Amino acid sequence: MLAGAAALTAALTLFHGAVPNAVGGLGSLLESFLPWLGLVVVVLLVLALVRRSAVALVALLLPVAAWTYLFGALLLPAPEPGAADLVVVQHNVSDENADPSGTARALAGTGADLIALQELVPRDLAVYERTLAPEYPYRTVQGTVGLWSKRPLTGARPLDIKPRGITDEWNRGLRTSVRTPHGELAVYVAHLPSVRVRASGLASSWRDESAGLLGDAVAAERLPRVVLLGDLNGTVHDRALDPLTTRLNVAERGVALSFPAAFPLARIDQVMARSATVGHIRTLPATGSDHLPVVARIRMD
């Protein structure tokens, strides 16, 4: 029985795409927490040692190999600090943040080239603008998302990623160009709709539709280099983000679980790139938000 459980864990890890999504979004739900299958391996190892089962111990090599294949590279040491052309910060600052000034100071203290924020509300916007302005003189805010930059921005505009079912005013995407020493760079900032885990399964239709619209926008982008920063309410293994992950590179190293801040279970705050490599991603200390900020180092290809 332990050997069978080990084989099943290995199969779910490697072939998670075969788990159907039609019933309760089961496939996406599994993929949202896929790295945590490593804990199943630990439990099975303890049971195998207690039972002194050589067969189970040998069978455990399957899920260990599968987990290492998918996630092992993320645990490698970060590249040398100088091995980056661009440093970016992504943070959902929360519309209930009680300390926007402290949050802004913490983000500015990273020295990043770009800072992308979501859930900007009118009462706090002036605080972020005032606090970030000395180090980040260039900014664009569209709806509830914004980008602060040390380098000039051009062509900033809102990005329509609004699902058809949302009838209220809703603007949670932007596109702008950034002038860098390596040439013009298209930067997208997005906040996809939330998902809900219910008794019936994963409710994610709005998130999935919005991800498709964002993927279409990236595919139509004429600039060769693209960076996407956002709270995508999904992990890079979630098939709902295929419109993005099939077109953009994801982080090569770093786990950076970002949500919820009190006990992070998944990284739903993402940094992706085209014609560039996201070499390493990590989290920053908690702010007044329910998300942890993430900082990534990007190399231009």
pLDDT value of residue 200 = 63
For the chain, what percent of residues have pLDDT higher than 90? 86
The CATH code that applies to domain 86-300 is 3.60.10.10
Average pLDDT over residues 265-270: 97
For position 23, what pLDDT does the model report? 78
Section 90-115 average pLDDT: 97
| pLDDT over 90 at 285, yes or no | yes
In eight-state DSSP terms, residue 77 is P
Helix 37-51 and helix 61-71, axial crossing angle in degrees, nearest 10: 160
Nearest in space to 112 (alpha carbons), one of 61, 149, 66: 149
Across 10-14, 81-85, 171-175, 259-263, least confident range: 81-85
Domains of the chain, by residue range, sit at 2-75, 86-300
pLDDT digits 0-9 by tens, 206-224 = 999 999 999 999 999 999 9
| In the predicted structure, residue 257 carries a pLDDT above the cut 70 | yes
What single string gives the DSSP state of each residue in 4-20?
A: HHHHHHHHHHH-GGGS-
Give SS3 for 286. Answer: coil
Query: Which among 191, 264, 290, 295 has a CA at the least distance from the CA of 36?
Result: 264
Q: Are 207 and 192 in contact (CB under 8 A)?
A: yes
Residue 199: pLDDT band with limits 50, 70, 90: low
Is the predicted pLDDT of residue 273 greater than 90, yes or no?
yes
**Residue 124: phi, psi to the nearest 5?**
-105, -15
Considering the chain, what is the average pLDDT of its residues?
Answer: 94
d(CA 14, CA 4): 15
> What DSSP state is assigned to residue 258?
-
Q: Is the pLDDT of residue 80 over 80?
A: no
pLDDT in the model for residue 81: 65
Determine the pLDDT at residue 83: 65
In this prediction, residue 46 carries a pLDDT of 94
Return the pLDDT at 196. Answer: 83
State the average pLDDT over residues 49-74.
93
Average pLDDT over residues 233-246: 96
